[in-house]
Amino acid sequence: MIRSKHLRESARGQECTLQIAGICNYQSETTVLAHLPSESHGMGLKADDISACFACSACHDVIDNRSSIRISNEDREFYMRRAQNRTLNIWVDMGLVTVKGAA
């Protein structure tokens, strides 16, 4: 299990990487590290911190089905995976995640 206080705290003040069209509030003060579904999670157990993205409160509520607004499963998957990739790239730029041999 990957848990990192540095990764979780890195979301503070960041731009939402989900940016769900018509949903995102673009308010970085509401951004948190949102855990995404992965094989490391289960009932009452969050996914690894690496399986996450920066999410504003509005996008996070939609992804976690806490909103009356619904998006298709295909759109949900697209936004989550795009956001995870964006977040990983930010972490690499911040030096929080390194990729051996990357230029």
Give this prediction's pTM. 0.90
> Residue 13: how many CB atoms within 10 A of its CB?
9
Count of residues for the chain?
103
Question: Rounded to 10 degrees, what is the CA torsion of 12, 10, 58, 19?
Answer: 120
Mean pLDDT in residue range 17-46: 86
pLDDT of 43 strictly over 90:
no
Domain residue limits, the chain? 5-94
Q: Which two tokens stand for residue 29?
A: 């003060």
Given the residues 6, 35, 41, 60, select the one marked as catalytic.
35
Alpha helices, DSSP H, located in 48-72: 57-63
Active site residue 41: no
Specify the higher pLDDT residue, 48 or 90: 90
Whether residue 40 has pLDDT greater than 70: no
Q: What fold, for 5-94?
A: Erythroid Transcription Factor GATA-1; Chain A (3.30.50)
- The answer to which of 25-29, 44-48, 49-53 has the lowest mean pLDDT is 44-48
**Is 80 exceeded by the pLDDT of residue 49?**
yes
